[in-house]
Amino acid sequence: MTKSGVRKEGIKGTLTGWLYLAPALAFLIFFMVYPLIDVFIYSFEEGYNSASQTYFGIGGYNYSYVLRDPYFLQAVKNTFILVIFTVPISTILALLISLALNSIDKLKKLFQTIYFLPYVTNTLAVGLVFMILFRKTPYTDGLINLLIKAFGMSAVDFIEGPYWAKMLVLCIYVIWIVMPFKILILTSALASVNPVYYKAARIDGASKTRIFFKITLPMISPMIFYLVITGFIGAFKAYSDAVAIFGVDLNAAGMNTMVGYVYDMLYGDGGGYPSYASAAAIILFAIVLTITVINLIVSKKTSQKG
């Protein structure tokens, strides 16, 4: 007997199946499939006017406009810096924390619970707290600056001050936000490594570092690659973290991200240009796709070597 189910052959069965799926299908077609096609169309419609829903012509002007727009270039730069710093740092930090978690018994549950908290909190709300901690105002230098001054350095305005300082806060906040997911995944990956391997290695007299590089790391490497890939994708799509710290007008702060640029083009003070937004979104996803493919190739090569 093969696993077949009760065969409701014929029209009636097919009708039932599609009926059960109808709501999901309707929503998906209307809010995912059609928009996916439409975004490409928008991106090639030149001079689209959202009020009259008319356009002059078809061509690549939207793309060239976006690529020459200094705000977009700033957003690309910001996004890339964000990706380059936050992905490796958060992944390595999460790995260290997970290893430390794995080496203790007492309080483990408590630490895991605490570490997961940022995942369930509202990005906008906690971002406000970060802003206050880092901010320098005429009244007070803010807590972080007091700490810096205690080490004998001078205070910096992290929120409205120099670019590097603003970038630093954003990176710190993004890392703080993405850590829970990474720690969770890596801790469960580490926990799923069969302890027999560790016992065997200890009998063979392998040192802790050797055990880590020769046994643990290869065994959890699929999960690390998964985290790196999703980390890249996530960091490229960063937006609400920046809004949380620098406010809605990210272009003015010089802290916009690529996704932020898309939304600003769509709606807001500089908005009303779905064509530019579409072109920018498609450029963004071309970049994300390329990076993901490179990541996949690298991960495949590495795992083959290993």
Partner 1 sequence: MDVRLEHLTKVFPSRDKKGSEVVAVNDFNFTIPEGKLIGLLGPSGCGKSTMLYMICGLENPTSGKIYFGDEDVTDIPSEKRGVGLVFQNYALYPHLTVRQNITFPLENLKGEEKLTKEQRNQKALEAAKLVQIDGLMDRKPGEMSGGQQQRVAIARALVKMPKVLLMDEPLSNLDARLRLQTREEIRRIQKATGITTIFVTHDQEEAMSISDMIVVMKDGIFQQMDQPQKVYDDPVNLFVAKFLGTPAINVFEADVKDKKLYIGEDMVMDKVNVKDGPVWCGIRPEGFILDGNGALKCSLTGVDVMGRDTSIVSTNPKMTGLSVRSIISAEDLKLTSKDSVRFNIKRSKTLLFDKESEGRIYYD
Partner 2 sequence: MAKSQDILKLERNAKTKNAVFKIVMYIFLAFWGLVVLFPFYWMLLSSIKSYASYMSERLPKFYASEPTFENYVNAFTQVPLAKYFLNTIIYTVITTALMMIVIVFSAYAFARLDFKGKSLLFVGFLALMMIPNELVIITNFVTITNMNLRNTFLGLILPSVTSVFYIYLLKENFEQVPDELYYAAKVDGTSDLKYLFKVMIPVCRPTIITVIILKVIECWNSYVWPRLITDDSNYFLVSNGIQEIRENGFGRDNIPAMMAAVVAVSLPLIILFLVFRNKIMEGVSREGIKG
Among 76, 83, 174, 223, binds partner 2 (CB under 8 A): 223
Partner in contact with 51, chosen from partner 2, partner 1, none, beta carbon below 5 to 8 Å by kind: none
CB 159 within 8 A of CB 127: no
Among 63, 71, 232, 239, binds partner 2 (CB under 8 A): 239
| Residue 52 engages partner 1 in binding (rule: CB under 8 A) | no
Non-local CB neighbours of 62 within 8 Å, separated by 6+ positions: 43, 44, 45, 46, 275, 276, 278, 279
Q: At what angle do helices 258-266 and 70-102 cross, to 10 degrees?
A: 130
Which residue, 21 or 153, has its beta carbon nearer to partner 2?
21
Among 84, 124, 153, 296, binds partner 2 (CB under 8 A): 124
Per DSSP, what are the bridge partners of residue 57? 46
- Judged by CB under 8 A, the stretch of 16-24, 66-74, 83-91, 151-159 that binds partner 2 is 16-24
Select from 264, 235, 234, 233 the least CA-distant residue to 248: 264
Which residue, 33 or 92, has its beta carbon nearer to partner 2?
33
| Residue 150 engages partner 2 in binding (rule: CB under 8 A) | no
| Residue 51 engages partner 1 in binding (rule: CB under 8 A) | no
Cα distances (Å, whole numbers) of residue 93 to 87, 119, 131, 179, 234:
10, 16, 23, 8, 17
| Residue 76 engages partner 2 in binding (rule: CB under 8 A) | no
Non-local CB neighbours of 87 within 8 Å, separated by 6+ positions: 228, 231, 232, 235
| Residue 31 engages partner 2 in binding (rule: CB under 8 A) | yes
Which residue, 73 or 191, has its beta carbon nearer to partner 2?
191
Minimum distance from residue 21 beta carbon to partner 1 (Å)? 23
CB 257 within 8 A of CB 238: yes
Minimum distance from residue 225 beta carbon to partner 1 (Å)? 32
Partner in contact with 2, chosen from partner 1, partner 2, none, beta carbon below 5 to 8 Å by kind: partner 1
Select from 227, 228, 229, 237 the least CA-distant residue to 284: 237
Q: At what angle do helices 123-134 and 163-191 cross, to 10 degrees?
A: 130
- Judged by CB under 8 A, the stretch of 6-14, 17-25, 68-76, 194-202 that binds partner 1 is 6-14
The Cα–Cα gap between 93 and 111 comes to 15
Minimum distance from residue 303 beta carbon to partner 1 (Å)? 30
| Residue 89 engages partner 2 in binding (rule: CB under 8 A) | no
Query: Between residue 268 and residue 297, which ones bind partner 2 under the rule CB under 8 A?
Result: 274, 277-278, 281-282, 284-285, 288
